[in-house]
Each structure stands twice: as structure tokens, then as C-alpha cells.
Chains A and B, each alone.
Chain A
Amino acid sequence: MSQDPEELSLIDRFKNGETSAFEELVLKHQDRIYTVCRHMLGNIHDAEDVAQDTFIKAYHNLKNFKPSASLYTWLYRIAVNTCLDYRKKPFFESLFKRSEEGDVYTLEHASDGPSPEKLYEIKQLSFALQKSMARLSIKLRTVIVLKEIEGLSYEEIADVLETSMGTVKSRISRAREELRESMKYFTEQK
């Protein structure tokens, strides 16, 4: 995996004691990490807390980070593990099940204003996707978020999850299969 030279420079500056370089790294990756946390946890506040925890952990461990590895897959790994740990907390399950996830999977539409019928169709699809993703197990949901939302390759996902490419391939296939079935169910419900 190739490393961004600007990023390597920021990491070097941080390792040499220039802690302001860390804020630049946060600015560079905050949207990605926040997005993953938001998709895995649903709630805005939980996502921000966990995203912050991710960068705090990264701050304390960056001195041990090897430049040959990819920084953003390393950050994704910390984010995914932190999200999984957060979800294990006893109070999380009751909150997660009680509260609606909110509009995490909102489909964008053209700014010039689609027709009312099109808007309705987009809304229905968003609703179906929202419900379908909520039904996935956390393992399948994680790979779909990393693949479909973040656009990582199979190899990168395997690196993030510290598993084999075969496992990644299998989970993505299963996740898509389950999503297809769920989407059919929810879109047929009118």
C-alpha cells in the first residue's frame, strides 16, 4: 500500500515532538472515521464520542506506527474495534434497540428538485435501506460499510479487520444476499 508523502511528513513531525502535526492528521481523516462510526453506531453523539476515542488512541500509539503500513486502514481498524467495544456495553443494546437509528442512509437527490413521485421513491428506498442495514449482524454490516460506503478494497478490509481475504469475500457476499432479500421485503411493504 502506497503512503501519502504529505502524511508521512506529518507522522515524522509528530514523532519528532511536533504535536500540532497531529491535528492536521485528524483534519485529514476525521470525515472518514466519523462516517464509519456513524454507520456502525447510528447515533450522532455516540459516533462523535467514539470517533474522538479513535483519534485519542491513535495519538497514544502513533509513535509505534510503521510508515510502511497504511495510516487510514490503521485508523479504520482502531475505529471499528472501538465501535465494536462500545456496542458491547450493556446500556448500548437497550438504547440501540429502543431508539430509531435516525437518517443514516439518506439517499441524495438532485438539487434542482425531483418530481414528487421521484422524491417518494427515494424516500421509500432510503427507508428500505435503513431497515435492511439494521437487520444485518454487526460483522456483515461492518464489511458492507467499509466496502460500499468507504470504498475499501478486499485487501484493505482484510487488513482493517485483521482477517483473511476469503473471509472478507464471504462476508460481503452474504451481506449483499441478505440485503437483497430485505430490500425486496421492505420495498414490497407499502
Chain B
Amino acid sequence: MRCKKAQGLLSPYLDGELPVMGRKMFESHLNDCANCRAEFDEMQALHNLFAGVERFSAPYGFAARTVANIETAKAWTVLWTSPLIRVAGVVMVLIIIGIGILSGNLLERTFSPQGAGKLAISFSLDVFNAAPPDSLGGVYLAMTEGKSEKL
């Protein structure tokens, strides 16, 4: 057996995955080849290292929590597929639409031709007089208007 082929068999040999015939040929090569032997020993050492790695346990209560989550999800699914809940949902939507229509009617009355006039007045900037007649600005304007006419 050549080294190139033997190196491809290092892992399967280590893992006991070689058939009997292949195993014997590989072992024979290992006995004769110091390089392949050294590589195998390194791989064996790495494999032994993993054997010493700490194994984990699932956190305390993991199974109970998992089953509880499954049951909760099932309960929600049952709730949302319940005919009563669906009817209640449709009624809610209709109520919201109704409120919207009523609000729209109120707004329309506000924005009607009669209402629009009042609205225009309420939003007109003419309401804001920067210099009312009884203010200092208003008195000043009255005085200067008289003078400019004379000029």
C-alpha cells in the first residue's frame, strides 16, 4: 500500500470503519512506514483528546419548559381558530368602520358650504391683526397715515 492511499485511510481505520482486508493491509503499511505511523499517532492523540471533553446536560427543567411552550402555542392556535373569536373579530371590525363613517359625517358637516365659510374665517389670517387700533402700533399707523396723505 502506498502512503497516499494509506493517508486516506487514517480516519476510517481510527473509527473502525475499514473492512477486515483493508484493515490488515493498512496495519501492515503502518508497521513499515514511520511517517504514516507518526501521522496516525497524532490523529489518535487528537481523538483521545475529544474523549476527555466535558459532555453537557440539558438545563434544568428543559423538557417541562419545552412541553409547556408547545401547549401554549396549541392554546393560541385553538383560540384564533375558534368560530366565536372569529365572529367577535368581524364585529369589532364593523364597529370600527361604523365609527369611521360617523366621524366622516361629522367632518363633512363641518366642511359643508355653510361650515366651510365658518372654517375659512376661523383659519383666515385676517383674524390676526398685528396692529389693533387700540395698541401702540395702531396709534402709530393712524398718525403716519395722516402725515403721508398731507405729503
Contacts and interface: CB of A to CB of B under 8 A. Distances in A.
Interface string B35-74: 0000000110011011011111111001111110110010
Nearest to B39: A180
B63 A30 contact: yes
Size category of the A interface is: 35 or more
Given A172-B15, A173-B10, A180-B42, A108 B63 contact: no
B137 interface: no
Nearest to B8: A173
A121 to B, nearest CB: 12
B37 to A, nearest CB: 15
Contacts of A105: 53-54
B17 interface: yes
Chain B contact surface mostly: helix
B66 A56 contact: yes
B15 A52 contact: no
Interface residues of B, number: 29
A147 B58 contact: no
A15 to B, nearest CB: 16
Given A26-B63, A59-B70, A125-B49, A149 B11 contact: no
B115 interface: no
B50 A31 contact: no
A129 B57 contact: no
B30 to A, nearest CB: 16
Nearest to A173: B11
